[in-house]
């Protein structure tokens, strides 16, 4: 996947900043959690083109030392969704990231709400 920089749109940047204020967590950590939530959600995320007028991350800053794990999880999800990983991987990465930020924004109002995300039965596959 040839994606070195990830740029969020302005609306999602506002959501990430609000989440940081609510939880005290850094934006890259919030994005990682959101990305994983999106991978666990049913349905294929919308791959419409997001405006890139907001916060920017280096991919490594976003995924850290677990970059290969995030990409492997994404590839597995794409295979489950019958999506061509050769041509659609970057679009799917961005779509899951964007959907994930919206999911976490809607579900987390304070730091203790994160516990509900991890104790939710929908995350049972992690056991």
Encode pLDDT of 45-87 as tens digits: 988 767 778 888 898 999 989 999 999 999 999 999 999 999 9
What pLDDT is recorded for position 120?
55
Helix, strand or coil, per DSSP, at residue 48: coil
Which residue, chain included where needed, has tokens 């850290």? 64
Is 80 exceeded by the pLDDT of residue 127? no
Beta bridge partner(s), residue 61: none
pTM of the model: 0.87
CA separation for the pair 74, 87 (Å, rounded)? 13
Using 50, 70 and 90 to split pLDDT, how confident is the model at 104?
very high
Q: What is the mean pLDDT of residues 113-123?
A: 68
Structure tokens of 54? 């907001």
Which residue, chain included where needed, has tokens 């749109």? 9
What pLDDT is recorded for position 116?
81
What pLDDT is recorded for position 119?
66
Mean of the per-residue pLDDT values of the chain = 88
Cβ density class 88-124: b for 16+ within 10 Å, e for less: ebebbbbbbbbbbbbbbbeebeeeeebeebeeeeeee
The CATH number covering residue 25 comes to 1.10.1220.160
- φ and ψ at 81, to 5 degrees? -90, 5
Helix, strand or coil, per DSSP, at residue 7: strand
Domain interval for residue 99: 5-126
Is 80 exceeded by the pLDDT of residue 122? no
Q: What is the mean pLDDT of residues 79-101?
A: 94
What pLDDT is recorded for position 39?
95
What pLDDT is recorded for position 53?
80
The count of domains in the chain is 1
What pLDDT is recorded for position 121?
46
**Residue pair 82/76 in contact by the 8 Å Cβ criterion:** no
**Residue pair 54/12 in contact by the 8 Å Cβ criterion:** yes
Strands (E), the chain: 5-7, 56-58
């Amino acid at each position: 996947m040839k994606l070195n920089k990830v740029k969020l749109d302005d609306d999602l940047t506002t959501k990430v900043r609000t989440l940081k204020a609510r939880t005290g967590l850094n934006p890259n950590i919030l994005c990682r959690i959101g990305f994983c939530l999106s991978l666990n959600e049913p349905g294929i995320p919308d791959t419409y083109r997001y405006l890139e007028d907001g916060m920017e991350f280096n991919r490594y800053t976003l995924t850290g030392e677990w970059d290969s794990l995030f990409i492997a999880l994404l590839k597995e999800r794409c295979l489950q969704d019958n999506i061509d990983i050769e041509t659609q991987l970057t679009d799917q990465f961005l779509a899951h990231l964007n959907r994930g930020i919206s999911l976490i924004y809607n579900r987390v109002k304070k730091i203790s709400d994160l516990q509900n995300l991890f104790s939710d039965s929908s995350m049972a596959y992690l056991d």
